[in-house]
Structure 1
């Protein structure tokens, strides 16, 4: 199955006392590039998410966003630093005694002092948290890959249709090539008649010149290779998932053969066919750039 490098997946579930939302999206990239956003206290999950995604995705610029919250609101706990509070209270009483002032110290006064209260993360088992996140990640990645596969099938059909169009142009070029040689021979004969007048034309020399021209503009090798490239293209597309790099190289070969035909043939009709064929090849290349 051919897969696009563009995709999106999302899953939100409540598991094990947590509300977990994971989103994954990707765009074209030559290699596998991964970035991840997680809540600060769950940063340790980033490497595990990268490894999890990379097991199933080989190319693309991947972005994962993870949102995770405890349903009981216990993500963080408030801790009282009693030693600090008692230290403040003792110091204030000593100052009161030294200055001989009224004792108007209240709890709210101590609560406003630094370091009396501390916000700490509730204790969690990282492996237990990961096992929950992995379930949500699997559902999101499944949706993500399904979207990539659906888009990949559409691209595959388009590429195959354009490959058939290339074969059509190849057939027309093959049919037009002999006519090009014949037209050249007729033009050469007419030119010689004009130059020689009543003198006899050397038929052997005429045939030799026509043969040299035919060899110069022959495109048999290129058209044969183009047909072979189409067969290889169909084989690759039928073969597997991560085929983008192979296809990219193969389409370059398509373009090389088309350019060679264009450089060999000065015939206007064939030149037009080459232009049309190269247009189809370029559209194939654009599609291939988005295949994993």
Structure 2
């Protein structure tokens, strides 16, 4: 399948003490241009993020935004440190053994003790791993988005290929007749001017001019280029540059066909071909 360079993906995850969001946006570009925006806490991951993205993407301008939002103090669920509570229990028992009349600790006093209550948090190494995993998930969704867009592009390009082939099939049978009719027309005009079209010199000139207006080769190359476009679309992969080259070749043949035309129908067909090829060229700019 072919892939579009246009796509968008956004994924988010709620982590202990924070929320993490990764957004990927891509548009068409001549080569791969990565823009990575990271919060200060994750700045050290930039090279790793670039490596993950470049392993899957070949062309396009890709903007990667990673946002890390810390939870507001008191808004997250708190956790009781069992280990700390056991230490306090053992310490209280020791005090009670030495001072039997001492007042035992209340629940409120235990909860107020430093280290007993703690909001959930995540160490830097675990956060880095979660971030890269989320980047890979976003990249998977971006690839799916680009594949869907690529499928639409392929449908459009194949439709234009069919229309180009229809134009070629319409004019191809007429080429010999157009060529012969134009030679006869020139011969008639020469006779009207009092010249003998059967003279050797004039025959040579007529043959040379007839060769210059012969478009059979251009028609044949148009059909060949369209067949190659179909083959590239079927093959898929990173084919944008190849398709762009083929659009240039198709446009060249259509221009030559128009410049050589000595027939109104042939000129109309050349104009239709140029419109179709331009429509294809605009869409090919989005193919990876």
TM-score in terms of structure 2 length:
0.76
Secondary structure, in 3 states, of the residue corresponding to 2:153? helix
After superposition, the Cα gap between the structure-2 partners of 1:205 and 1:39, relative to the gap in structure 1 and judged at 3 Å, is: same
Aligned-partner Cα distance in 2 for 1:177–1:201: 22
Secondary structure, in 3 states, of the residue corresponding to 2:5? coil
Question: Partner residue of 2:179?
Answer: 181
Report matched runs for 1:17-96 at 5 Å.
17-71=17-71
Secondary structure, in 3 states, of the residue corresponding to 1:33? strand
Aligned length, in residue pairs:
242
TM-score in terms of structure 1 length:
0.75
Equivalent residues of 1:184, 1:210 under 8 A apart: no
Find out whether 1:134 has 2:132 as its counterpart: yes
Aligned-partner Cα distance in 1 for 2:61–2:187: 63
Aligned-partner Cα distance in 2 for 1:205–1:40: 84
Mark the runs of 5 or more structure 1 residues left unpaired by the alignment. Answer: 75-122
Deviation for aligned residue 1:201 = 6.8
Secondary structure, in 3 states, of the residue corresponding to 2:255? helix
Offset from partner CA, 1:150-186 (integer Å, 9 cap, x none): 0101001111111121112222232232232232233
Deviation for aligned residue 1:205 = 7.7
Question: Partner residue of 2:252?
Answer: 256
Question: Partner residue of 2:102?
Answer: none
Question: Partner residue of 1:271?
Answer: 267
Please tell me the root mean square deviation across aligned C-alpha atoms, in Å. 2.5
Aligned-partner Cα distance in 1 for 2:72–2:269: 70
Secondary structure, in 3 states, of the residue corresponding to 2:193? helix
**Equivalent of 2:278 in 272, 278, 282:** 282
Equivalent residues of 1:16, 1:132 under 8 A apart: no
Mark the runs of 5 or more structure 2 residues left unpaired by the alignment. Answer: 75-120
Offset from partner CA, 1:76-119 (integer Å, 9 cap, x none): xxxxxxxxxxxxxxxxxxxxxxxxxxxxxxxxxxxxxxxxxxxx
